[in-house]
Amino acid sequence: MPALSVATDTLAGMGTGIDYVRGDATTPLGKGPKVIAHVCNDMGGWGKGFVLAVSRRWPEPEAAYRRWHRERSGNDFGLGAVQVVQVDRLLWVANMIGQHGTRTGSKGVPVRYDAIDTALGVVAVKAAELAASVHMPRIGCGLAGGKWERIEPSIVARLVGADVRVTVYDHG
């Protein structure tokens, strides 16, 4: 079933330059090159949340993330880092490290807003190189425990501000 553009229930997103649609971010809308951006944790865990939908569609992002984590002593794996994995001729998945750990505890929720902001800057550069639009669920707001009111401004500043077209998908 194709996603349909819908109005959000609140004023969030009004005038931000972000397109909000109801649908599945793993089947991004529109023509041309696309990057699907999502948040991963810094512990090497892949198995809950949006990553399951990614893995159902393509094995490459999970395999690349696990290898990136396993070989982290020799690479840039860590908060704010991004790994871009091509999954089709005009489609890439951006694994963004924006979550510390996987559980809410004494140090609060796992989301790391500054790491997501940094990662979005990296995604903006890659999207510009690819002449791609960026597609995502409400990153950092599921298992990571983040608040969209804190994440949306980073998307606007980093992506929309760099003239990257952004579509955010609300599942359902």
Q: What is the domain range of residue 165?
A: 24-170
pTM for this one? 0.90
What was the pLDDT predicted at 104? 79
Q: pLDDT grade, residue 100 (50/70/90)? A: very high
Q: Give domain status of residue 14, yes or no.
A: no
| pLDDT of res. 13 | 47
Residue 18 lies in a domain: no
CATH, residue 136: 3.40.220.10
Decide if 99 contacts 140 (C-beta within 8 A): yes
Residue 135 has pLDDT above 80, yes or no: yes
Alpha helices in the chain (DSSP H): 50-57, 60-70, 113-130, 148-158
- Per-residue pLDDT tens for 17-73? 999 999 999 999 999 999 999 999 999 999 899 999 999 999 999 999 999 999 999
Tokens describing residue 36: 């699907």
Domain count of the fold of the chain: 1
Q: Which helix (H) or strand (E) holds 164?
A: none
